[in-house]
Structure 1
C-alpha cells in the first residue's frame, strides 16, 4: 500500500461528494435539514443540541477549556455547499443536518462552500497548502502572483499595497502609516490623532480599538484618547433630518481640523459657513476633471492661515467605513462623503476608507466608496474578510513611509491557502450577478417588513450587504433564536439590526428558502406562539470562567438602574433557570424553567416599598453575572410566608429573587459576595430581619450568617422543579 493511498481514497470520496452536492444545489434540491425538536421553545437551544445533536455537543464539551464564543453546533465543511452549512450530526437515516447561512460566515465568503473553482485551485496548489512560508523573508511564486493580481483591483488613487493577515492588522498599519507620516513631516514631530465615527468598528488591536466606538469592544482596555464624531446615517424618508446630521458631523470635524484639539483656538462659525458654502458650490457644478478639483483645493488652501494649517497637521487622518457593518448596516449619503473628501483634501488630511467588510463587490460595486462618486480618491483603503487575508492599499505619497526598514512588517504577510482561494475567483467577479441576487433578497425582505410592520422595519443596503431592524431591541435575539431553530443563521448588527448577507452566487431557491424561514420565524412571534422574552442570546460561550471578586462592580438597583440593566438581568435568569415557557416534565436538562421570574415581576419589585437590589457586574466584560432583589413586601413565596413569625410586622426585608450565571466557575464565592451586599444594605435600611425562600444548598455554601440562620420550612421539590428550597430567617441584629 502506498504512503498516500488512504488519503487519496478519502480525497476521491470528498471530490465525488462535492460534485454531487454542487449538482443538487444548482438544481435547487438542497434544503435546510435540522432536528424538528429544535422548535421546542420551552427549552434552550444548547439543551436541545445536547439531546438531539450529540456529536456537536460532545465536540463543544471537549473544547470547553478553550475561551471562545460560538453558535452551539459543530459545523462540517465536508457536508457544506453554497450557503448551506453541514454539521457533524446526522438524522436516523444518516442524512447530514444543514443550516442556511445568511451571514456569509461574518461576511468573509463571497461564494458558496466547496465552490468547485476553489476546490480545483486548492488541488492544483497543494505544495502551498502543505508548507506555509514566512513571506516577510521568503516570498513564493504564489505570494508574488497575489501581489501582481492586486494591481488589477487596486482602488483608484491607492495603487500600492501591503499584505497582512487580518482586517485589524490592515487598519492598524493604516493608522501607523498616517501617524508616521505626521511624525516625519510635521514641525513638532507629533504624530497627532485620528478622527473616526460614532458606531464604528475597526478591530480589536489597541490601535484599531482607539478608532472603534462600541463600549463593549473597548471596555477595560487602555487606548488612545482620540475623538469621534457622529456618523450621519441617511434617512431616505427624512431629508431634513439627514441634512441636520450631516451638518453636525461636518462642523465637529471642521472644529477639530482648525483647532487640532488645542485650547483657545478660534472656531468661527462664519468661517466654517463660508468654507462649506464654497464646497457646496463647487460640488454643484463639479465636472469629472481632476485638474478642476486640484485647482479648487489649492485655492481653498491659500485662504487658510499658517496657524490653522499648523494646527490641522495634528489631525493624522479621518477614518470611516463606507457602510457600517458591525454598527448596524448603516450608510450616509453620497453627498456627505463627497463633502468629507473635499474638506479633508483642503486641509491635507488623509482620508482612510475601511473596506474590510464592504470591499470586493459586496455592495454591487468593486469598492463601496465608488458608490459616492468622490471628487478625488481616498488616500488609504483597507480590505480583508473576502480577501481571505488583510490588504492595505495606499497612495504613492504614503507608500514612502512603508520603505522605513521593518516599521511595517509581519512574519507571514498572509496565509497561502487564503491566497489560493482569493486568486481562484479574483477575476471572475460578476457585479451584475451580485446586484441581481441582492435585488431578489431585498424585495423579499421589504415584503416581509410590509406584512409585519409591528416587528420588522427599515430594510436597507446595496448589493448583498443587506440589513433590517427589529422594532424592539429585546426582540432581536428572539428572532435570531427562532430562526436558528428553523435552520436559518442570522447575525446581529448594531443595537437592533440583523444582517442578511447572501453569497454572490446564491441560487434563487436558497434566497427564497431563507425568506420563507424568516417569514415563519416572524409569524411565530406575531402570532404569540413564541413569547418575546423566551430567548437568550443565541451565541453561547462554551466552558466556564472564574471571575475574581476584585473585578466585580456592585450596582445598586433602583428603577432607573434596573431599566438600564434589565435585559442583562433577564439573561441571568434565563441562563440560570431556563425558558419562561412552562415545561411539560418539570426539570429539563439541568434547567428549572418554573423557577424563572418574569421581567414584569422584577420590575414591580424594584419599584415597591423598601426595595433593595444589587447587580454584580464584571468590570472586564461589562456583563451582569449575578443579581439579588427584594423589598419590604412579600409577594412571591407564599409557601414560605405561612411559617414566618414576623410576617406583617413591617420589620422584615424579603429577598425575593436571586440568580448567578451558571457559567461562573466560582459561583459560590460570587453568591457570598452578593448576599453579603444585600445584608449590608438591609441593615443600613433599618430592617430587623431578612427572610428568603432560597435554594437549600446555600445552607452549606452561603455566608456564615446564612448558614447559622434558622430554617423555618423545607421544600424538597419546590414548584416541581426537583430543586430543594428552604425558608431562612436571619436576625440582622444578632447574626453576622
Structure 2
C-alpha cells in the first residue's frame, strides 16, 4: 500500500472547510488510501478482456470493476486493486460508489414498482409523475427555465434540444402559426423543403484539432469535434463551427491576450451567422459547453458567454448550454453557467451524467405546440428520478456544493505548487470547483503521468491532446485531495 504524507492545507482554505465540516458526508467503510497489489490490468482483468473481446469490440475498456468492493471515492478492480477514483465513470457518479442513501432507495414497494414497470412516459406516466418532476427536477432548474423534458442520456438530450430549437425557430418564422400547409406536410415526407427546411446549429471547435463534444448520435455528432474517430465514415450536416477562445495561463498574467481571444471568437460567430444565412441555411441555434470538456477542458470568460447570448438574441437564434458534464455541482454551483452572471436565462440547458437521468430545461416559449414533436417510448426512467431525489437531498443536507468549493481550492492550490515545481512536465492548471485540469508538456509526457498515477493508485481521465482532467465525486474531500496531490507528486518524480 502506498503511504502518503500530509500536504499542508493553507489556513484560509482550512477555515473554509471547518465552517461546514460537521455536515460533510461520512462515506461508510471507505479505505484510508489506495492499495495496488498487481499490475493494472492484472491477470483477472486480462482474462475478462479476452472473454469480452470474443463477444464485442471492447478496445475502450479501461479496467474491469468490482462494484461490490468499490466504495465512496475508491474503485476496486477485478484483481483486488483499490484506486482513488478522480474520474468517476466519466464524471457520472455524484456521490461516489455504493453511497448508503442510494443503496436504500429501492427498499420500499412503491420505488420497486417504478423500477419494474418502467412506463412509456410520453403516453402512460404514473400518477405521481407531475409531482416528481416538480419536486426533483424543477427544484434545481436553472432560473427562468420552468419547462423540462426527460430523456435517457446526454446525446438524446442534445438531439431533443436541437429539435426544440428548430420548432421554436420555424414557429417564429411562421409568425406564431402552429398549423402547417399542405406543401409542408407533403414535402417533409420526401425530406425536402419547405417541410424539412435547411437550418443549422452552430457549435465550437478549439483552435487546434479538438473541440466540442455533444454526443455520438447523428445530429449531436454534427456538432462534435473532439476526436476524428467519433465522426469517421458517417455522413453529416453542413453546419458551421466557430473557434472557441484559447486561453493562456495563469489567467491574471495574460488578461489582454485572453480578451483578444474572446473578441476573435465572437467575431467568428457573427461571421458564420452571416455566411450561413447567405448559403440559405440560417442558424437556428448555437450550442456551447460552459467548459469545453472532452476537447481539452477549454474555458471562456463570463463576458464571453454574456456577449454570445446577446449575439444569439440579436440573430433570433436559440442559445443551448450543454451542461451534461458540468451540471449537478462539480464546479461548486448546481449549474456551471451560474458563474457567468447571464443577464437573462439561457434558452435551453441539457443535462445527464451526475443528474443520473438525461433531459433538458427550457424557457416557456420552447414548449412544442403539438404532441409527439419531441418524443420517444421511455423519455427517461422514473427510477432515475427516485435516485436523483436522494442525491439532491444529500447534496443539500451535507452541504456538498460547499465541500466542492473547499476541496477545489485545496486541489487547485496543490496543482499550482506542482506546476511550479515541475514546469518541464505540467502547466496550465485551470478549472472551477473540483472540475479541474492541467496540461502535460506533450502527449507522451501525459501518457507517462497517467501510467504512473495508475501504478501508484489513482484512476484519472484525459481530454484534448495533452490534458489531464479531474472529475471526482461531490464527496471528494480535502483528505482525498491530499492523497491525490501526494501521489501526483510521486508520479512526476518518477519520470526522468
* Normalised-by-shorter TM-score class: 0.7 to 0.9
2:133 is the counterpart of 1:147 = yes
Counterpart contact for 1:437–1:502, Cα < 8 Å? no
Q: Offset at 1:194?
A: 0.9
2:345 is the counterpart of 1:333 = no
Q: How far apart are the structure 2 equivalents of 1:141 and 1:66? A: 40
Q: How far apart are the structure 2 equivalents of 1:459 and 1:192? A: 38
Q: Offset at 1:507?
A: 3.3
Q: Which has the higher contact order (CA 8 A, sep 6+)?
A: 2
2:193 is the counterpart of 1:207 = no
Q: Offset at 1:110?
A: 1.4
2:365 is the counterpart of 1:397 = yes
The Cα offsets for residues 246-300 of structure 1, whole Å up to 9 and x where unpaired, read as 222211221233444416xxxxxxxxxxxxxxxxxxxxxxxxxxxxxxxxxxxxx
2:118 is the counterpart of 1:132 = yes
Q: How far apart are the structure 2 equivalents of 1:68 and 1:389? A: 25
Counterpart of 2:256 in structure 1 is 240
Of 182, 194, 197, the residue aligned with 2:201 is 194
Counterpart of 1:231 in structure 2 is 244
Q: How far apart are the structure 1 equivalents of 2:378 and 2:481? A: 37
Q: How far apart are the structure 2 equivalents of 1:179 and 1:255? A: 21
Counterpart of 1:118 in structure 2 is 102
Q: Offset at 1:213?
A: 1.8
Q: Offset at 1:428?
A: 3.7
Of 329, 344, 360, the residue aligned with 2:328 is 360
Q: How far apart are the structure 2 equivalents of 1:122 and 1:234? A: 46
Q: Offset at 1:176?
A: 1.3
Counterpart of 1:447 in structure 2 is 417
Counterpart of 1:62 in structure 2 is 51
Q: How far apart are the structure 1 equivalents of 2:74 and 2:393? A: 25
Counterpart of 2:444 in structure 1 is 474
Counterpart of 1:101 in structure 2 is 85
Q: How far apart are the structure 1 equivalents of 2:62 and 2:241? A: 36
Counterpart of 1:620 in structure 2 is none
Counterpart of 1:564 in structure 2 is none
Task: Tell me the SS of whatever aligns to 1:201.
Answer: coil
Structure 2 residue runs without a partner (length 5+): 1-25, 175-192, 206-210
Q: Offset at 1:238?
A: 1.8
Task: Tell me the SS of whatever aligns to 1:162.
Answer: strand
Q: How far apart are the structure 2 equivalents of 1:416 and 1:161? A: 14
The Cα offsets for residues 304-332 of structure 1, whole Å up to 9 and x where unpaired, read as xxxxxxx8x92101111111111111110
Q: How far apart are the structure 2 equivalents of 1:229 and 1:507? A: 38
Q: How far apart are the structure 1 equivalents of 2:313 and 2:393? A: 32
Counterpart contact for 2:242–2:272, Cα < 8 Å? no
Of 382, 385, 389, the residue aligned with 1:419 is 385
2:462 is the counterpart of 1:492 = yes
Q: Which has the larger radius of gyration?
A: 1
Matches within 5 A, 1:489-528: 489-525=459-495, 528=496
Greater mean alpha carbon deviation, residues 386-395 or residues 214-223: 214-223
Counterpart contact for 1:109–1:385, Cα < 8 Å? yes
Matches within 5 A, 1:550-699: none
Counterpart contact for 2:28–2:100, Cα < 8 Å? no
Closer/same/farther in 2, CA of residues 105 and 72 from structure 1, 3 Å limit: closer
Matches within 5 A, 1:313-324: 314-324=282-292
Closer/same/farther in 2, CA of residues 377 and 233 from structure 1, 3 Å limit: farther
Closer/same/farther in 2, CA of residues 142 and 384 from structure 1, 3 Å limit: farther
Structure 1 residue runs without a partner (length 5+): 1-20, 39-44, 91-96, 264-310, 529-736
Task: Tell me the SS of whatever aligns to 1:121.
Answer: coil
Cα RMSD for the two superposed structures: 2.1
Closer/same/farther in 2, CA of residues 325 and 142 from structure 1, 3 Å limit: farther
Q: How far apart are the structure 1 equivalents of 2:275 and 2:477? A: 53
Counterpart contact for 1:179–1:191, Cα < 8 Å? no
Q: Offset at 1:22?
A: 4.0
Alignment length (residue pairs) = 434
Counterpart contact for 2:327–2:336, Cα < 8 Å? yes
Counterpart contact for 1:351–1:380, Cα < 8 Å? yes
Q: How far apart are the structure 2 equivalents of 1:72 and 1:164? A: 27
Q: Offset at 1:136?
A: 2.6
Task: Tell me the SS of whatever aligns to 2:107.
Answer: helix
2:279 is the counterpart of 1:250 = no
Closer/same/farther in 2, CA of residues 442 and 352 from structure 1, 3 Å limit: same
Counterpart of 1:688 in structure 2 is none
Q: Offset at 1:404?
A: 2.4
Counterpart contact for 1:170–1:383, Cα < 8 Å? yes
Closer/same/farther in 2, CA of residues 318 and 496 from structure 1, 3 Å limit: same
Q: Offset at 1:363?
A: 0.9
Counterpart contact for 1:142–1:419, Cα < 8 Å? no
Query: TM-score, structure 1 length as denominator?
Result: 0.56
Closer/same/farther in 2, CA of residues 144 and 57 from structure 1, 3 Å limit: farther
Q: Offset at 1:234?
A: 3.5
Q: How far apart are the structure 1 equivalents of 2:432 and 2:475? A: 16
2:74 is the counterpart of 1:84 = yes
